[in-house]
Chain A
Amino acid sequence: MALEALRVNRLRSALTMLGVIIGVSAVVILVAIGTGAKDAIEDEISGLGSNIILVVPGQLNFQAAPTQSRLDLSDVNYVRRVVGDPGRVTVSVQSGENVRVGRNEAFVTVVGTDENIPNVFERPLKRGRYLTETDIDTRRRVAVLGSEVSEQLFGDLDPVGRQATIAGVRFRVVGVYEKVGATFGVARDRETHIPVTTAQRLLGVQRVNGIAIGASGPDVIDSLGQKVVDALTTRYPDEKFSAVTQTQLLGTIGTVLGMLTGVLAAIAGISLLVGGVGVSNIMLVSVRERTKEIGLRKALGARQRDVLGQFLIEAVLLTTIGGTIGIALGVGGSLLIEALSPVPASITLWSILLAFGVSAVVGVFFGVAPARRAGRLDPVVALRAE
């Protein structure tokens, strides 16, 4: 019966639905883009490796310069004892340096580190080998290159076994990492890893910049980070230390991107609301047009709730049919955006269900006023209407 009424005014029904269609598809597409962006960044963070804890001196504050490190290699060994599994702890001393091979030159991030890198980070090798314990102990001048560094300095040549000059000192290349991409703007493919001991001598420092720990599982990350920070604070009562986990980074970024998605959804929601107002408007027109019909139905025994129900079902039908079409367009649009543009789009079930639910609710909400008006019509007056 309700479908019949909608079919009678096909163009009008279609135009009314259009508002809902646009609203719903906007919700689905914008949420897909927001979620896609979030997924992409989360992938980047988890691409580092799993269950990583970064221990840094000072307090973590993105608005201030990092605290000058007081940590040295003896502290690293201390942390290794605290963690209980020395292989899960690695270290870094960083500096930007020039690297030269023949006439090729590159400015890279030289990272002094140790043999535990593959235990903590996701850092597969393309050729050669990782740094070894012996490299660290004997301060060998050996280097493992990031994929981009290798390309820039050696081109298509296999660099393993060849010489490179880092900050004026000759090193032998022993390995090349696979391409891993950037994390937070840190181009990890532009890093060159050398033994931490060698790096300290090269840079003339005793300090290390930070310690990274690979926790054995996700459930021990927080407790292990706290344990290490507590141990370091006991050792240096006047200092502050922070443990940064991926969960924290994900949490912060997730919150920001979640908000962004929410804002996008809200904007799209407004267009859905406008669509709802259109439905309300058309339903009012429809009630007016069909006043006589309502009067007749009442004379034949339709109760207030029968008439109300009839118009409400019509409104909900309008919005849910519109909603379904909108979801189809939204999903199609998201797939198209994903395929044709660099913007990541990830369709989520919740946005589809939400959009559909909202369009049904919009139908009820904006249908109620016209439907009540219809239900309350005085049959005598309604029958007389022209």
Chain B
Amino acid sequence: MTAFEAAGLTRSYQLEGVTVDALRGVDLTIGDGEFAAILGPSGSGKSTLMHLLGCLDRPTSGVLRVGGVDVSTLDDTKLAELRNRMIGFVFQSFHLLARTSALDNVALPLVYRGVARADRRKRARAALEAVGLAHRLDHRPSQMSGGEQQRVAIARALVGDPQVVLADEPTGNLDTRNGDEVMALLERLNADQGVAIVLVTHEPEVADRARRQIHVRDGLIERDVA
């Protein structure tokens, strides 16, 4: 099984009448249970690639299969359902709902899956326990440290049992100690639960912790080191 399978992937934007080619033909396969880092300077196209992999965006051309499904065959609704089922997101700036408890934040993806409330809360509690935040269930994001907030976000990414966790600069807003903790957590999840981790970063020391490094430059894969 492969988590992602991309062939000839391109993505161009119209910016004030000028066509910008963010991706210019990417071939990439990421298997189940992999731990890969996508690296590149800003403007290299790594964010665009991450959006495409995360089914937040559609390629201009080329084929992308996520969990074996060709995304070009899916409408927006089906794409949303695919995201919900297959992918967990972790963002640089956490993106937690501000006035909502950790438990309800984590349970949010299950709301869109139609899971009953009691079941949602049970699974959210389990996910928070898995990231070591059993004592923070009812805390709001503002009552937690940055590291804790990112761990809540990771719990949210995991609660729906995704095949892949896409982490966009997950340590970018954290100090070294908290960053290390978050990376250790991701490594453990990858090792224990077999969930594939795809990390987007521009920090080499973060990328070094991944087993595979995919270097993106000028919209192309420059180097793919396992």
Interface residues of A (CB under 8 A from B): 4, 8, 292-293, 296-306, 378-380, 383
Contacts and interface: CB of A to CB of B under 8 A. Distances in A.
Given A296-B95, A298-B80, 15 more contacts: A4-B99, A8-B99, A296-B91, A298-B56, A299-B89, A299-B95, A300-B83, A300-B84, A301-B113, A302-B112, A303-B76, A303-B81, A304-B77, A306-B80, A378-B57
B24 interface: no
B99 A300 contact: no
Contacts of A292: 95
A69 B56 CA distance: 90
B85 interface: yes
Nearest to A292: B95
Nearest to B79: A303
B108 A297 contact: yes
Interface string B67-97: 0000000001100110111000101000101
A300 B109 contact: yes
Q: Interface majority SS on A: helix, strand, loop or mixed? A: helix
Nearest to A384: B47
B54 A299 contact: yes
A293 B112 contact: no
B97 A301 contact: no
A301 B99 contact: no
B156 interface: yes
B51 interface: yes
Nearest to B95: A296
B60 to A, nearest CB: 14
A297 B113 CA distance: 12
B56 A301 contact: no
Given A296-B95, A297-B108, A383-B91, A302 B56 contact: no
Contact of A293 (B51, B57, B97): B97
Given A4-B99, A8-B99, A380-B51, A301 B57 contact: no
Contacts of B76: 303-304
Nearest to A298: B80
Given A4-B99, A383-B91, A383-B95, A303 B57 contact: no
A292 B76 CA distance: 19
Contacts of A379: 56-57
B92 to A, nearest CB: 10
A299 B112 CA distance: 11
B81 to A, nearest CB: 7
Contact of A300 (B57, B77, B112): B112
